[in-house]
Amino acid sequence: MKKIFGLLLVVLAVFAIASCVSEPAPKKDSPLDATVAYPPKILEHKGTAWGANPPAWLMEALKGYKFVERMADYQGKIVVIVEQDGESREGAELAASRLDAIPRISTLMGLRVKDTFAGAQVGDKDKIETYMERVVKVASETRFSGFMMEDSWWTYLQTYTPEGKADKRTYRVIQLWTMSKAALEKQLDSILKGEAANEPKTPEKERAIQAVQNAFYEGF
């Protein structure tokens, strides 16, 4: 949630970026709001030199990855948003691309599998809880092949202390990674079927597993 909230603050600030840097005005204390949150201020971003606004996918990503997947440019693709902070732009970009992207993609795929199981409208799911747990675990540890970085955006931020004083300056890199749904489904099918083979076979479990597998991609 921190990363999503940080991404929201960054993108909204892009459209209100000022030509000069100043500390935010102090906010009056309120008995209902003793803690004041000072969002980071954008000093520069990828489009500053050309007067360009953030790409449409970045704005849709604020609402969730599925909103990006519904865009015309990303129909038939699975989307993952990777975010990385760093003292230098090059360092943040390198970390996002090589260090953070692959494990983050695996983690997010595991979460998507877990959410898909939770939302599956099939009966007898309680009979295959261990099966679903194993699938989630394997998916979160799998390095899915086929993901590529399609686009990226960076911002240079001035951060503030809880008291509103200027703190560190940092670069934030946000990358859009995609993969064709067909290619991902092939790899997920292998996990779903592989773990099903390890499940003790009973008629009830086999029916429940088959029902979950049949409905799996409806909510993925």
Lowest mean pLDDT among 4-18, 143-157, 205-219: 4-18
pLDDT digit string, tens, across residues 122-149? 767 778 889 999 999 999 999 999 999 9
What 94-102 contacts at long range (C-beta under 8 Å, 24+ apart), as own/partner pairs, is 96/152, 96/173, 96/175, 97/149, 97/175, 101/147, 101/149, 101/175, 101/177, 102/143
- Check: pTM over 0.85? Answer yes or no: no
The mean pLDDT of the chain is: 84
pLDDT of 94 > 90? The answer is no
Q: Is 86 exposed, middle or buried (0-12, 13-18, 19+ CB in 10 A)?
A: middle
pLDDT of 15 > 80? The answer is no
Note the pLDDT of residue 220. 85
pLDDT band at residue 17 under the 50/70/90 scheme: very low
Ramachandran region, residue 164 (left: φ > 0; alpha: ψ -120 to 50; beta: rest): left
List residues bridging with 42 in a β-sheet.
Answer: 157
pLDDT digit string, tens, across residues 38-92? 899 999 999 999 999 999 999 999 898 999 999 999 999 999 999 999 999 999 9
pLDDT of 23 > 60? The answer is no
